[in-house]
Amino acid sequence: MTDGKKDEYDAESIKVLEGLEGVRKRPAMYIGSTGKEGLHHLVYEIVDNAVDEALAGECDTIKITLNKDGSVTVEDNGRGIPVEMHPVYKKSAMEVIVTKLHAGGKFDNKAYAVSGGLHGVGISVVAALSKKMTAEVRKNGNIYSQTYKIGVPQDSVKIIGKCAQEEKGTTITFFPDEEIFSTVKFEFSTLINRFREIAFLNAGLKIIFKDENTGKKEDFHFEGGLVEFVKWLNKSKEALHKPVYFKREMEGIIMEAAIQYNEGYQENIFGFVNTINTVEGGTHVAGFRTALTRVINDYVKKKGLLKDDSLMGEDTREGLTAIISIKISHPQFEGQTKTKLGNSEVKGVVDSAVTAALGEFFEENPPIAKRICEKSLDAAKARLAAKKAKELVRRKNAFSLGGLPGKLADCASRKFEETELYLVEGESAGGSAKQSRNKHNQAILPLKGKILNIEKANISKALSSEEIANMITVIGAGVGEQFDIEKLRYNKIIIMTDADVDGEHIKVLILTFFFRFMPKLIENGNIFVALPPLFRIRKKEDYYVYTEDELKKMSEKLGANTIVTRFKGLGEMSSDQLWETTMDPKTRKIKKIFIEDAIEADATFSMLMGDDVQSRKEFIQENARDANLDI
């Protein structure tokens, strides 16, 4: 309201964001976020364009460099962005592609039969969100170049040098804009996982990645493609058989898959569309799952291994590591960040292709087929045992508070958004937490000792564990196939353990439980870790610090005559201290747990919590200096 008049909503209220202005106004619409994930997405957009050249059979090498000046350079030996005069816009095609959204060679299916970047916005978005970007093209014996600042050309496309007549390719160098992003520091470890995936998914493609700031360099080149990928995923597990690989083309869709079961109990199916990791799955993954269940059921019945009953989908996927990769000319992704495939026709095509290929493989390889089927039958027995265990848990809890474990101190509020559940290490700390908490919205569940390592147990054994059964009951959303996030009883689930070696171990055991049994809670942002202080410094008033470095700095700041107290455990704190340092939303520190890369997360949990002792030892040696523990 101004001058007593309401703001008018009329023709003058309608604003048109010209050119790339809309990208800068709403960057998250195009790259997901303006944090670390969005920053790295810029690199993926440019690399995906180079991969599209590889998919078209025009490129076999991609070089990515993190430069010392903060920029990133992506170079490929593809055909090079077109530089000729555009017939409509009367300027170089390269300038049109970079400066106009939805401009590119991926709409008519002539230049690219399939592509990961299909909306024609990738390079435009990178240009708009970069304080400077330079595009260089090598073709026709010339090197063409144009520079942009926040998407605006600084000059026309010019020839800046000569190259060999047969040389071709594109080089993009960009500086992300600090005004857009909360961080402009690229992480080698984050990028390397994506580049490894791309190399696995494009057999024969060479990817060279180096960081000029640290001197780190990695080269990826896998002639075996998906077979090598599935073996790499299972490297920390004991495989049951050699990888099963097949490739089929039906109705214009190219599908390839690699399957390998292991001795573990976790299901890992990773779906890709035109080399894009569809982390939320989609119709291609659904078709694969349906076919796998059908083929295994048909085989066990045909061989007389199972007569009256049928295996369920979850039985056939226990211990499965699989990659399903399709290439399709018109993928329909949900959102620009491409996390889920929506093409309805793909489900049936993939179902048919997998059914035919896997059925054929089973007939030709009876020993492997038998091992896979036996694994599924064992899983079915465990599922039935787990069902009995669940019923036992329900009966046992029927005598406690409303079906909930008696040790739970529940909160009063029924407003889901404000509720919190603290999973607390030890009865002593649990007692302090119950005294400290805000009873209105904070619930406390003490955990006794170290919970079962889910990585080495099937669901039947897991549900026979009192602590795990209690967590499942209290959280309320179920596990596995029966998981329903709508039944979740608390908005925040906060893991609170001692800041020592045992506490860290318990924390990882609980996180393993969530990652394997309730991954959607992590994906949905419901899981947190509490950060209790390591030290209290007293000088007239109390100061709490969380690391050795903080202690040193604070001690220097406060000077002489301070009493430093080291907290050995949560149970040593008074209820007031525990509230003030670890549970009061105004003063506490908590970390939200999220999955940055599902493939890397799976490999890390398998390595840390599985049977691969040597890999775990090497990991600890490499990362020991980063740990902040009281040993």
Q: Name the residue range of residue 35's domain.
A: 21-221
pLDDT confidence of residue 113: 55
Tens of pLDDT, residue by residue over 11-26, are 454 444 456 788 888 8
Q: Which residue do the tokens 């990791």 mark?
A: 277
Q: Do 528 and 429 lie in a common domain?
A: yes
Domain count, the chain: 3
**CATH number for position 150:** 3.30.565.10
- Residue 533 confidence class, pLDDT cut points 50, 70, 90: confident
Q: Do 469 and 447 lie in a common domain?
A: yes
Q: Do 131 and 242 lie in a common domain?
A: no
**CATH number for position 278:** 3.30.230.10
Sign of CA dihedral 618, 624, 630, 631: positive
Residue 106 lies in a domain: yes
Q: What is the pTM of this model?
A: 0.73
Tens of pLDDT, residue by residue over 433-472, are 999 999 999 999 999 878 888 888 777 777 778 899 899 9
Highest mean pLDDT among 45-59, 60-74, 105-119, 489-503: 60-74
Contacts for 444 with CB less than 8 Å, ≥ 6 apart? 408, 409, 421, 422, 424, 430, 433, 434, 437
Residue 307 has pLDDT above 90, yes or no: no
pLDDT confidence of residue 114: 58
Q: Do 158 and 269 lie in a common domain?
A: no
pLDDT confidence of residue 226: 97
Residue 273 lies in a domain: yes
**CATH number for position 589:** 3.40.50.670
Q: Do 454 and 595 lie in a common domain?
A: yes
Q: Do 378 and 443 lie in a common domain?
A: no
Q: Say which range, 50-59, 385-394, 444-453, has the weakest mean pLDDT.
A: 385-394
Residue 86 has pLDDT above 90, yes or no: no
The secondary structure of 369-435, three-state, reads: HHHHHHHHHHHHHHHHHHHHHHHHHHHHHCCCECCECCCCECCCCCCHHHCEEEEEECHHHHHHHHH
pLDDT confidence of residue 565: 81
Residue 527 has pLDDT above 50, yes or no: yes
Q: Do 352 and 417 lie in a common domain?
A: no
Using a pLDDT cut of 70, give the percent of the chain over it: 89
Contacts for 424 with CB less than 8 Å, ≥ 6 apart? 430, 433, 444, 445, 446, 447, 496, 497, 570
Q: Say which range, 129-143, 515-529, 607-621, has the weakest mean pLDDT.
A: 607-621
Q: Do 29 and 62 lie in a common domain?
A: yes
Strand-pairing partners, residue 191, are none
Helix, strand, or coil here: 169?
strand
Residue 424 has pLDDT above 70, yes or no: yes
Residue 190 lies in a domain: yes
Q: Do 147 and 189 lie in a common domain?
A: yes
Asked if 419 and 489 touch (Cβ cutoff 8 Å), the reply is yes
Section 79-94 average pLDDT:
89
Highest mean pLDDT among 5-19, 75-89, 104-118: 75-89
- Residue 104 confidence class, pLDDT cut points 50, 70, 90: low
Residue 397 has pLDDT above 50, yes or no: no
Section 86-93 average pLDDT:
87
Give, in order, the Cα–Cα distances in Å from 407 to each of 132, 391, 423, 471, 619: 59, 20, 11, 11, 37
Tens of pLDDT, residue by residue over 217-242, are 999 999 999 999 999 999 888 999 99
Active-site residues: which are they? 425, 498, 500, 502
Interhelix angle 283-302/366-397, rounded to 10 degrees, is 100
pLDDT confidence of residue 631: 43
Residue 551 lies in a domain: no
